[in-house]
Amino acid sequence: MTSPLRRETLEALLERPRLRALLEAMNRDGEETRIVGGAVRNALFGLPVTEVDCATTALPETITRLAQQAGFKPVPTGIDHGTITVVVKGEPFEVTSLREDVETDGRRAVVSFGHDFEADAKRRDFTINALSFGLNGRLYDYAGGLDDLAARRVRFIGDARTRIREDYLRILRFFRFTAEYAENGPDPEGLAAAGAERAGLAILSRERVRHEFLRLLMARRAIGTVEILAEHGFLTWILDGAAELGRFDRAVAAGREPIERLAALAVFVEEDAERLRERLRLSNEEHRRLAAYARLLCELKGGPPVLDPVAIRRLAAAHGVETLSLALAALAGEPRPRVDAQALAALESFRSGAEPVPVFPLRGADLMARGIPKGPRIGEMLGRARDLWFAEGCPDDRASADALLERVLEEG
């Protein structure tokens, strides 16, 4: 089954003043520059085009010279690979010299610069990423990408195993692009090649795997694609642990962001958060969020079987509304805990801001103002006060805060 492509959306790119000015400046002195890659692909799909990359016959020093002559700012962001970021009235465009692979090792390529758009296109990964569009309004297709776009099919250029051996990250990119653009699941040849070459994933940096996998989790057909990853053994390798597909599905349905989807998919206990931090080189903040989700998950599974509005109030105050919302979305439909309708309404009030999340009302300064000296005793008293506050349902009025302070002082 094929779908019509949006040629008018592609042609509209040439009406963008800054992009057109760039192309006009770069198509001088016998050089040719075209729009390439994702911008062409997304425009033909009718999807938003937020970033535009260009390829050119010009060498990096020529790109720089032409940019400066036009009054643009060239920035050598990837000059070793022939990439100059050209800033046109505040908008950046990556302009890259045409390239040919001299040597590849599965992680990176040694390239030489060339003047052949077809050779440059055929060194790319997928046919739908090999299209180029010129200032003359002509669309160039050297690898059958138009047919694959129309059929909503993601296919490697040439021999799939050869493409993968050039850069093993292409295995994960194959699944991500399939999740984003394909209508009928993975291309059989590509899937077979990914399986045959899977051992090569071990040489990739964890940062590259993390970047690609988190993007995959946000793709349009993430649920079906993650299931395929699980069926073919890729998911266990990526996570180095177990996965919970049902919770992931529910997190996706709730529209969660990447790190939250990862939590629902792969976090059961706090040790999972630690393992994933190392496995995927997560940031400290990402690890903190996974660990917070794990602690709440354990509390929910070991707590009361039914959550009422008071329980929601306590949990929101203790763990935060977003973490609580994620956990309850992931656990929806499981035997424990159940959430009654009033509790769900209370949670929504917190999420919408209609009701503020209660905040523990006492600080160390409150105790010191009543004569308690600075030191460990302050922390101990605040801990007892917090326990009492949670037990009382997290009241947020001034009278309750004053009463709580007096009680803690009396107990010493």
For the domain that residue 121 is a member of, what is the CATH number?
3.30.460.10
Angstrom distance (rounded) from CA 347 to CA 157:
50
Tell me what the pLDDT averaged over the chain comes to: 95
- The mean per-residue pLDDT over the stretch 234-246 comes to 96
Would you place residue 70 in the very low, low, confident or very high pLDDT band (cuts 50, 70, 90)?
very high
Note down the domain range covering 402.
364-411
The whole-number pLDDT of residue 349 equals 97
127 and 175 belong to one structural domain: no
Answer yes or no: is 99 within a domain.
Answer: yes
Q: Are strands 306-307 and 139-140 parallel, antiparallel or unpaired?
A: unpaired
Last residue of a domain, one of 94, 120, 151: 151
Q: Is the pLDDT of residue 128 over 90?
A: yes
Answer yes or no: is 12 within a domain.
Answer: yes
208 and 81 belong to one structural domain: no
Answer yes or no: is 256 within a domain.
Answer: no
- CA angle 5/7/8 to nearest 5° reads 125
Last residue of a domain, one of 122, 151, 180: 151
Whichever domain contains 204, its CATH number is 1.10.3090.10
Would you place residue 1 in the very low, low, confident or very high pLDDT band (cuts 50, 70, 90)?
very low
375 and 347 belong to one structural domain: no
The whole-number pLDDT of residue 304 equals 92
104 and 8 belong to one structural domain: yes
Which one-letter DSSP state was computed for residue 199?
Answer: G
The whole-number pLDDT of residue 3 equals 64
Within 114-168, residue ranges assigned H as helices are 117-122, 145-150, 160-166
Would you place residue 2 in the very low, low, confident or very high pLDDT band (cuts 50, 70, 90)?
low
Answer yes or no: is 55 within a domain.
Answer: yes
40 and 146 belong to one structural domain: yes
1 and 147 belong to one structural domain: yes
171 and 105 belong to one structural domain: no
- The mean per-residue pLDDT over the stretch 288-303 comes to 96
Within 27-181, residue ranges assigned H as helices are 38-45, 60-69, 117-122, 145-150, 160-166, 169-181
| CB 300, CB 335: distance < 8 Å | no
The total number of structural domains in the chain stands at 4
347 and 231 belong to one structural domain: no
Percent of the chain with pLDDT over 90: 93
Would you place residue 102 in the very low, low, confident or very high pLDDT band (cuts 50, 70, 90)?
low
Would you place residue 25 in the very low, low, confident or very high pLDDT band (cuts 50, 70, 90)?
very high
34 and 143 belong to one structural domain: yes
The whole-number pLDDT of residue 267 equals 98
The whole-number pLDDT of residue 107 equals 72
Answer yes or no: is 262 within a domain.
Answer: no
276 and 341 belong to one structural domain: yes
282 and 323 belong to one structural domain: yes
Last residue of a domain, one of 185, 216, 237: 237
Answer yes or no: is 337 within a domain.
Answer: yes
User: Tens of pLDDT along 133-185?
Assistant: 999 999 999 999 999 999 999 999 999 999 999 999 999 999 999 999 999 99
Element (H, E) at 8: helix 7-12
- The mean per-residue pLDDT over the stretch 256-262 comes to 96
- The mean per-residue pLDDT over the stretch 98-107 comes to 76
The whole-number pLDDT of residue 323 equals 97
Answer yes or no: is 260 within a domain.
Answer: no
| Residue that has been written with the tokens 């599965």 in this structure | 106
Answer yes or no: is 250 within a domain.
Answer: no
136 and 166 belong to one structural domain: no
User: Tens of pLDDT along 332-344?
Assistant: 999 999 999 999 9
